[in-house]
Amino acid sequence: MKIIMLVSFMLVFCALCGTAFADIQPVRNFQERTPTPYNNNPFGLVYAGAITENLSGKVNIHPITYELNGIKIAANVYTPADYDPAKKYPAITVAHPNGGVKEQVSGLFAQRLAELGYITVAADAAYQGESGGLPKHTDIPFFRTEDIHGMVDLLTIYPGVDTERIGMLGICGGGGYTLNAAKSEKRVKAVATLSMFNTGRVRREGYMSSQIGDIQARLKQSNEARNAAIKGEVISAGGTLDLDTLTDEYIASIKNDLYREGLLYYGKTHRHPNSTFEYTQSSLIELMTWDATDNLKLINVPLLMIAGSLADSLYLSEDAIEKATGTNDKELFLIPGAMHIQTYYVPEYVDQEVEKLKEFFGRTL
């Protein structure tokens, strides 16, 4: 009798709670999206060589939206030249850096990979860019990881995708979240990262271990930020910068290469209005207890990690590749002379990276 009463209680409890025990909601309501022009590009793209119009016999771009866990995601799908939805193509997800948007480096690599014959998707993370979700700039590992699972969802239903030949590419923070997704994402056959950034470790320890001494104080601040949000007060943010007031002198004063070059890229050369360094202060509650390299042994497919030989973030890729013990097919490929942000856009570095990705995905997909 007690067992029956307990089961009945649990069934009622689940029904009342709704989503408390609900499954994750995969991609649905996939449809075309009207792009937002910016900087003389009708699709808002800010990288060199970006598509300006869809032409027959060329790579085409398809702005779309879809719902993932009830949040509207804005994305761009790139299709190869002479794309025929009746045929089958390998496909790749491309995850953007922290603070980045689909119109920047993730779009560049999505386009370059489409030129090699892949269907690719670059999406704005939930709570960021053109995607929905409030408060904006929330940066929580669960959602960022779900974004990548959602791009895989999309590719499984996109016309022309060979679902047995799907790969993933993640850039900077998107690389860390791609590694996290790949631990459990068994619909993909190969995983690659570019200038991987382990957001959890850096938010916890500081970049290059510069903030280990004040971890507890910063965790306390993040809890205070959550309390303030509960009371309806202004949501506090970290990483706030006024890009309109950036001076060359201030940029030059930044000591580490990643942040100095990042200010140039995001604030000057590849600026986009949807791109920001901000993250909600309360996000640190989750970020500081998370690490992209936990359980990396669960990745059992080919793994390629690309990084600049002079990048001061190289230690993050070196740590990850060592911990990825679940696959013997793994490689850390260095771009000679490149710093972290330079791998995003410097033509000679991008060409080397694309050539390496061509070889890797050509072999594995």
User: Per residue in 23-51, pLDDT tens?
Assistant: 677 777 889 999 999 999 999 999 999 99
Helix (H, G, I), strand (E, B) or coil at 72: strand
Q: How confident is the model at residue 238 (pLDDT cuts 50, 70, 90)?
A: confident
The pLDDT, as a whole number, for residue 77 is 98
The tokens of 61 are what? Answer: 């771009």
| The token pair that represents 301 in the structure block | 């497919």
What is the Cα–Cα distance from 33 to 10, expressed in whole angstroms?
Answer: 42
DSSP letter (8 states) at residue 291: -
The conformation of residue 38, written as its DSSP 8-state character, comes to B
Number of Cβ within 10 Å of residue 328's Cβ equals: 9
Cα–Cα dist 155/222, whole Å = 36
Residue-wise DSSP of 108-147? HHHHHHHTTT-EEEEEPPTTSTTS--SSTT---HHHHHHH
CA gap 286, 199 in Å, rounded: 11
Mean pLDDT of 325-348: 98
Q: Taking 60 as the threshold, does the pLDDT of residue 358 lie above it?
A: yes
Beta bridge partners of 303: 191, 330
DSSP conformation letters of 20-48 = GGPPP---EEEEE-----BTTBTT---ST
Give, in order, the Cα–Cα distances in Å from 25 to each of 12, 70, 241, 332.
21, 7, 35, 35
Cα angle, residue 77 at apex, residues 73 and 81 outer, rounded to 5°? 175
Residues contacting residue 50 through CB under 8 Å, at least 6 positions apart = 41, 43, 107, 108, 111
pLDDT in tens, 271-322: 999 998 788 889 999 999 999 999 999 999 999 999 999 999 999 999 999 9
For residue 9, what pLDDT band results from cuts at 50, 70 and 90? very low
At residue 335, the pLDDT reads: 98
Q: What's the gap between Cα 61 and its chain centre?
A: 19
The pLDDT of residue 360 is 98
Q: pLDDT above 90 covers what percent of the chain?
A: 79
- The model carries a pTM of 0.91
Letter for the amino acid at 83? Answer: Y
Q: Dmax of the chain from CA atoms?
A: 76
